Structure 1
Amino acid sequence: MIANRSCSLEAHFHIMKRVVLTVLLLLAAPLCMTLNYSESDIEPLVINEGAPSFSYGSNSQNLSYTTTFIQSDWNASVTALGYDNDGNLSFGGMMCAMFPGEYVARSMPLCNYQSETGLRSHPGYGPAMFGNIYRNGSLRDIEIINSTSGGDRIDDILYLSNGDYLISGWFCWGMADASGSECEIGRNGISADSYEGDDAFIARVAPNGTWLWAIGMGGIMWDTTHSLAEGPNGELFALTSFCVNSGSNSCQLASDFGTNLSEGQDDLLLMEISPGGTILWTEHMGSEYSDHGPEAGFFRLGKKGIVATSDGGVIVAGSSCEQNANCDFYISDVTLSNGSDGFLGKFDGDGDLVWAQQIGGDAVDYLQSIAKVDEHRIIVGGNHYSGQFNAGSRAIIHYGSSDSWWGIMNHTSMTWEGLWGSQDAADSFIHSVAVDARGDIILGGSGCWMNSNCMVDIAGLNQSNLTKSGFILKLDQNGAGEWLLPVVASGGVSSPINALETNQYGDIAAVSRICIDSNHNSQCTVEIGSTISTPLYRSSVVIQITQDNDLDGIYNDLDNCKDGIQGWISNITSDNDGDGCEDTLEDTDDDNDGILDYQDGCPLVFGNSSEDRHGCLDSDGDGWSDPDSIWIVDDGADRYPADSSQWRDSDGDGYGDNHYYDIDPVTGLYVNQTGDGAPLDPEQWSDMDGDGYGDNDQAGTRYDDCAYTYGLSSENDRFGCVDNDGDGWANEDDDYPFEATQWSDQDGDGYGDNPTGASPDACPTIYGASTIVGNLGCPDIDGDGWPDSTDAFPNEASQWNDTDGDGFGDELNGIDGDDCVNTPGNSTMGLLGCIDADGDGWA
């Protein structure tokens, strides 16, 4: 843990260097020493089966990504990323970073770091690291590269077209507390010597890890080479910041690089290097203030600043006159009165300045990163505080405290094709830019450094509840956002995306610092997308977003088999429909019509039918398939394959089932009819009143008896007439036109003949007035409601039942009511119908 986080490197750098030296070492060394892997280990990009992968939904897209945490004692800083020619990812940076004086004060502790096999220890001070990560996020290997005094970092990795790669950065920081000592960095007999420590270096390395040459360069203060590029013919370009943190004093770079006296504080040195390691030319640029210098700390932001052009030249980009308004920036023989602005400059292959351009407004503005879009265009990005930010003839306005911006410039036509900015009220920054294999733009940035729980709004996408958080954003070349992946850490210092790289498969690699405000032995919480992890404080995380999981050339959002087999590329032969499924082994839609084979009625014939069969030929486009040898009309095929308005003729009368017509505005009848108005009646096809009963053939079995009036009657041989209760009987034939369960009353007594209908007549052929439920409509002489057939007293209206059969009715209040209803009796005096044993009439 750094004892005093708030201290600056500046004071320390002032005492570090005393002598200005430069050395170039170019040796034809034997292959006597290699890295941790041999040439046979280098293999094409693969996905390890069963590897952990995460997903995150953003703007209707589901991202696939992995996370790899790089951890060590003190500070584990990843500052460089690079993809090799097979698409495998490498990273570089510094392990166990601390100040030199602190390292000595702590009795030079071991450097403990997490490797691919577990915890490892290294005895040197602050070593550089170079590692590789599998596509599934697991570490492939980590190599420690340590100068003899220690204090080293890799700030850029560039894979070259022939398979070699360059690494660059700074080395020998440990000399600051080792006065008079010498220091070098190298491998297998190739090394670069330091001058006063904190010097810049570049090394070319073969694919098997053998160093081919190394260059060291230094001035009085801190120097680092942070930007590398390769031209079309193998030209190598490098951009170095020198005399970093020199304060207001000028500072001279070693004389072998020409007269490069800094204008004051950190300046820039652009150079071309031959493939064999010879410096061909250098160009100095700077102002009296800080110009595109790296931050004074272990976790620098990307600030990549050069792009090689197809004509053998190079474009350099950066920021000048940091936070100083009245300032001249000198680039070759041109002076830009920039103030604190961004700049762009084009140099030809001989190191001559072709053009230079200022970018910015009237406040403090930054250009932090540049990337190649195509042979004619570049993308640049940064942040601005100006009320109006200008790039060429384009301008954007200011919304928040710091606004993100990015733009696309055509350096052939010298026109700006687009300029965009964030639109949130908070603060946001673009630190890194890249272009993926399809030409889409990738931005890496951060937001809400000065605002807690705020929202970033950029490229039409927004993310809320951010505090000092990072983000990765994909958008098209018109500035429209596709997705945004947030990086939110619990630590109190921001987690910016400080480096971005892409490969030919569409993979995106990004790196961010994590929780750098507390003890390195403690765990913090990091939320990347929807994935929560708990790494150590003061770590770095490498995020790999895979846009084409199975490497077939079809991005996941268009790939129907995105996690399918590997080892093939989608083309017209292997994937005829371009759906990302290999036709022979995994394509489930062989005819490419969008219908999976198991659902496709014609799996080998392209078709768009969707009704009777799916995926068969449908010539008229009505959804019904054309008949063929195995599927005829009787099976459901289209009887009218050339007529999109008809496909069935259910009654076989030659008229299609679909009925089309106009409505006469006066009569309301159907006129100009086509199709079949009576699709189930082979004798009829015209239906003027639209009730489904035809009216063209009066001799027909089901001719509409009320041809001009809508009706649904179907009983009693009367069709198509009004039937209010819907029982099938026309009102004129229905004795009960408003009761659907009754329609006939033969005896006219008011009770319907249907025994299962409402109030059914128990004597349907005999007129009757009985009203007892179940015995309705039968003869009832005494009118008591009980039918004579069940009335014990048919001629006495006050009695109808005699339970005990003694001749006295059960109704007590009726005539001769039985006082003993359930006991037969013959009493006739007093009580009636009770037992009278002596026969005197009294019970």
Structure 2
Amino acid sequence: MRASSLRMTRGLALALLSLHCAHGGTPRLWLPSATQESQVLGLTSEARDFFVIGAFSGALDWEGQTPVSRGAEDVFVARLEPSGTVRWLRHLGGAGQDTGDAVTLSTEDSLIAVGMFSGPADFGEVSLQGQGDSDCFVSKLSREDGRVLWARAFGGQGGVMSCRSVASDASGDLFVTGRFTGTVTPGTHPLQSAGMNDLFLLKLSGRDGALQWARHFGGAGEDIGRDVAVAPSGTVLLTGLFSQGVAPEPGAIDFGTGKLMSQGDADAFLAAFSPDDGHALWSRAFGGPSYDQSKSVVVAEDGGIYLTGLFQREDVAPGAEGLFFTAGGFEGFLAGFSPLGVERWRHRWPAMVSGHSLALSPGGQLVLAGHFEGSLDLGPGVKVESLGRSDAVVAGFSTTGQAVWARRFGGTGNDYGYAVAASEENVGVGGVLSRPLAEGPLVSTSFIARLRAAALDTHGE
């Protein structure tokens, strides 16, 4: 097991070699290897350290720590120091399918982790019993040593509930979003989905995870809460997608400020809520005739709101009765909005398949993680080329949308940047790289890279 892990790590390092050769500086790389697969899905930072969450199957080998998944897939949470040392690593999960989706810092030197688990699961100091086919978990860990301080499960008999994102306000209370199917009971009153998936927004006490209020929204189609953020004013921002049910009826969703109608298969939304009781303050929808979604939201000190995600473009093709439109490829986007949700600017890039995650540095720079194919031109002097079919990308932008720098990560396979974090000294990006086994197809393994903020300039690759 150890020799196999070393071979895979060496191969990944060679795949990433062109990054530091091209720029004259070597990023710090963490390449935790699993005997099957692993992926990084969430990342946040405190001063110089990173906190990371993801999922793995088989045995995970990371600096001599070798947890083995108890089921099809388990959760890992870790704290990484600038020197490359893994300060602590925690293994969460049970005999089912378990995924860690997001982490955020909270008050009292704590870390909040969210995701999904199936069946009974071991969360270190706490054991959780699932109610449905898959349940949502929210757990609070000590930043110092990773101890689980408390963990909560939310779901319902026969239902499916998944937590996708979490945000903490100034007092330490938590806001959680995701999706559910069927009937779930996060509190005393059951929530029933209207379609394939409905989205939810929960407020929990940061002290013990007790539910303060729950809201759910959706129509006949697939409706998912992808990310949540808290503005300096305390307003809660929610983003994701809503979609049509049975074509050709458009998708519809009402957050309480009037019905939003989709322009195509699925549209992105942005909505604002009161933190006190969860009532909607305003909501916006945007998209085209195909499939569109927003995946990440951040809020600046002045209340400005920023989103990333993807749009699906339409391709025009000749037919027997003239031109017709078909669903084409995806284009990543970055957009800026006023504190009241009025769009100020938007950029789309055909080569960027999707923007997955956004962070805001202490200096006010937007940092985006995603993946792209071919030649990605983000603006004057900021261009990167993929080595494989798709490469991970991390890029910095001003709050007016001007590209400042970009870096790519990847080899000859499919590589993705799923998570990003930014501090005064460092930018971190995490995701998935494709690696070859000794024999057989490419499989996925996780990566985290740290770049020094002072070394990032206006050059791409």
What's the TM-score bracket when you normalise by the shorter of the two chains? 0.7 to 0.9
How many residues align? The count is: 420
Superposition map of 1:690-701 within 5 A: none
**Structure 1 pair 465–344 and aligned structure 2 pair: CA distance change class (3 A):** closer
Could you tell me which residue of structure 2 aligns to residue 158 of structure 1? 104
SS, match of residue 301 in structure 2: coil
Looking at structure 2, the residues matched to 205 and 138 of structure 1 have their Cα atoms a distance apart, in angstroms, of 19
| Structure 2 residue 66 is the aligned partner of structure 1 residue 131 | no
Looking at structure 2, the residues matched to 194 and 223 of structure 1 have their Cα atoms a distance apart, in angstroms, of 10
Could you tell me which residue of structure 2 aligns to residue 87 of structure 1? 48
**Structure 1 pair 557–240 and aligned structure 2 pair: CA distance change class (3 A):** closer
1:76 to 17, 31, 38: 38
Could you tell me which residue of structure 1 aligns to residue 8 of structure 2? none
Looking at structure 2, the residues matched to 346 and 500 of structure 1 have their Cα atoms a distance apart, in angstroms, of 23
Looking at structure 1, the residues matched to 386 and 257 of structure 2 have their Cα atoms a distance apart, in angstroms, of 48
- For 2:355, the aligned partner's letter is I
Could you tell me which residue of structure 2 aligns to residue 509 of structure 1? 428
| Structure 2 residue 168 is the aligned partner of structure 1 residue 230 | yes
So what's the TM-score if we normalise by structure 2? 0.82
| Structure 2 residue 273 is the aligned partner of structure 1 residue 347 | yes
Could you tell me which residue of structure 2 aligns to residue 366 of structure 1? 293
Could you tell me which residue of structure 2 aligns to residue 745 of structure 1? none
SS, match of residue 289 in structure 1: coil
1:471 to 382, 386, 393: 393
**Contact 2:117 2:134 (8 Å CA) reproduced:** yes
Looking at structure 1, the residues matched to 439 and 404 of structure 2 have their Cα atoms a distance apart, in angstroms, of 36
Query: How far has the Cα of 1:54 moved from its partner?
Result: 9.3
Looking at structure 1, the residues matched to 24 and 122 of structure 2 have their Cα atoms a distance apart, in angstroms, of 44
Query: How far has the Cα of 1:140 moved from its partner?
Result: 3.4
Could you tell me which residue of structure 2 aligns to residue 281 of structure 1? 213
Query: How far has the Cα of 1:164 moved from its partner?
Result: 1.0
**Contact 1:409 1:415 (8 Å CA) reproduced:** yes
Looking at structure 1, the residues matched to 133 and 450 of structure 2 have their Cα atoms a distance apart, in angstroms, of 34
| Structure 2 residue 120 is the aligned partner of structure 1 residue 214 | no
Query: How far has the Cα of 1:322 moved from its partner?
Result: 6.7
1:116 to 40, 63, 67: 63
- For 1:129, the aligned partner's letter is F
Query: How far has the Cα of 1:353 moved from its partner?
Result: 0.6
Q: Deviations over 1:13-68 (max 9, x none)?
A: xxxxxxxxxxxxxxxxxxxxxxxxxxxxxxxxxxxxxxxx996487xx76652221
**Structure 1 pair 74–403 and aligned structure 2 pair: CA distance change class (3 A):** same
SS, match of residue 187 in structure 2: helix
Looking at structure 2, the residues matched to 287 and 379 of structure 1 have their Cα atoms a distance apart, in angstroms, of 26
Q: Deviations over 1:714-751 (max 9, x none)?
A: xxxxxxxxxxxxxxxxxxxxxxxxxxxxxxxxxxxxxx
Superposition map of 1:714-729 within 5 A: none
More strand by share: 2
Looking at structure 2, the residues matched to 320 and 376 of structure 1 have their Cα atoms a distance apart, in angstroms, of 25
Q: Deviations over 1:551-585 (max 9, x none)?
A: xxxx6769xxxxxxxxxxxxxxxxxxxxxxxxxxx
Looking at structure 1, the residues matched to 253 and 383 of structure 2 have their Cα atoms a distance apart, in angstroms, of 36
- For 2:84, the aligned partner's letter is G
Looking at structure 2, the residues matched to 383 and 123 of structure 1 have their Cα atoms a distance apart, in angstroms, of 33
Could you tell me which residue of structure 1 aligns to residue 318 of structure 2? none
**Structure 1 pair 345–57 and aligned structure 2 pair: CA distance change class (3 A):** farther
Query: How far has the Cα of 1:500 moved from its partner?
Result: 1.1
Looking at structure 2, the residues matched to 557 and 497 of structure 1 have their Cα atoms a distance apart, in angstroms, of 20
Query: How far has the Cα of 1:138 moved from its partner?
Result: 4.3
1:258 to 189, 192, 198: 189
Looking at structure 1, the residues matched to 285 and 69 of structure 2 have their Cα atoms a distance apart, in angstroms, of 47
| Structure 2 residue 128 is the aligned partner of structure 1 residue 196 | no
Tell which has more relative contact order, 1 or 2 (C-alpha 8 A, sep 6+): 2
- For 2:385, the aligned partner's letter is S
- For 1:541, the aligned partner's letter is F
Query: How far has the Cα of 1:114 moved from its partner?
Result: 0.7
SS, match of residue 402 in structure 1: strand
- For 1:383, the aligned partner's letter is L
Query: How far has the Cα of 1:357 moved from its partner?
Result: 0.6
Q: Deviations over 1:65-95 (max 9, x none)?
A: 22211211211122121223x4311211222
User: What is the alpha-carbon root mean square deviation over aligned residues?
Assistant: 3.0
**Structure 1 pair 115–292 and aligned structure 2 pair: CA distance change class (3 A):** same
**Contact 1:522 1:537 (8 Å CA) reproduced:** no
Superposition map of 1:214-613 within 5 A: 214-219=151-156, 220-243=158-181, 251-254=182-185, 256=187, 258-276=189-207, 277-292=209-224, 303=226, 305-321=227-243, 326-332=250-256, 334-339=258-263, 340-349=266-275, 350-386=277-313, 401-412=329-340, 414-422=341-349, 424=350, 426=351, 428-448=353-373, 454-460=374-380, 461-466=382-387, 467-491=389-413, 494-503=414-423, 505-515=424-434, 519=437, 537-548=443-454
Looking at structure 1, the residues matched to 64 and 293 of structure 2 have their Cα atoms a distance apart, in angstroms, of 41
Looking at structure 2, the residues matched to 216 and 123 of structure 1 have their Cα atoms a distance apart, in angstroms, of 20
Looking at structure 1, the residues matched to 68 and 343 of structure 2 have their Cα atoms a distance apart, in angstroms, of 50
SS, match of residue 311 in structure 1: coil
Looking at structure 2, the residues matched to 72 and 556 of structure 1 have their Cα atoms a distance apart, in angstroms, of 31
SS, match of residue 37 in structure 2: coil
* The 10-residue stretch of structure 1 (323-332 or 214-223) with the greater mean CA deviation from structure 2: 323-332
| Structure 2 residue 90 is the aligned partner of structure 1 residue 143 | yes
Q: Deviations over 1:287-329 (max 9, x none)?
A: 2222237xxxxxxxxx4x1111233320101111179671112
Show structure 1 runs of 5+ residues with no match: 1-52, 97-110, 176-182, 244-250, 294-302, 388-399, 449-453, 525-535, 549-554, 559-843
So what's the TM-score if we normalise by structure 1? 0.46
**Contact 1:241 1:269 (8 Å CA) reproduced:** yes
Looking at structure 1, the residues matched to 160 and 434 of structure 2 have their Cα atoms a distance apart, in angstroms, of 26
Query: How far has the Cα of 1:337 moved from its partner?
Result: 0.8
Query: How far has the Cα of 1:279 moved from its partner?
Result: 0.7
**Structure 1 pair 459–441 and aligned structure 2 pair: CA distance change class (3 A):** farther
Query: How far has the Cα of 1:133 moved from its partner?
Result: 2.0
Overall identity of the aligned pairs, in %: 17
Show structure 2 runs of 5+ residues with no match: 1-16, 315-327
